[in-house]
Amino acid sequence: MVFKHQQFYEAPPEIEVEFPARATLESAVSDALASSGGIDASDVTVTANGSTITLAGAVLRLEEVTRAEEVARSVEGVTKVRNEIAATGPDQVQRGI
């Protein structure tokens, strides 16, 4: 097997540094949701755009929608939360905040 050195034609490779910070923040919020009481976040997705977190998905009760936002706001590094979670239980009205 022959190994060749990479050539960048006078331009050094660009390294993205945004993704590790984004992934770290998403993981921190996801972990906080999973370990907090009062919410089943198994159907909730967490997406970070800078320090803004978007929560999307579904929970059974309206109280869980509010609780998820509270938990996300409490994570260090989060400055804004967009809550697009819907309450889909049989006695709940579907709603996004």
Chain segment 12-49, per-residue pLDDT in tens: 666 655 555 888 999 999 999 999 988 999 999 999 99
Alpha helices, DSSP H only, in 7-50?
Answer: 18-35
CA distance 54 to 72: 9
The predicted structure's pLDDT at residue 95: 47
Topology (CATH level 3) of domain 18-87: Histidine-containing Protein; Chain: A; (3.30.1340)
Domain ranges of the chain: 18-87
Are 45 and 68 contacting, i.e. CB atoms less than 8 angstroms apart? no
Is the dihedral angle over the CA atoms 66, 69, 73, 76 positive or is it negative?
positive
Mean pLDDT for 51-68 is: 95
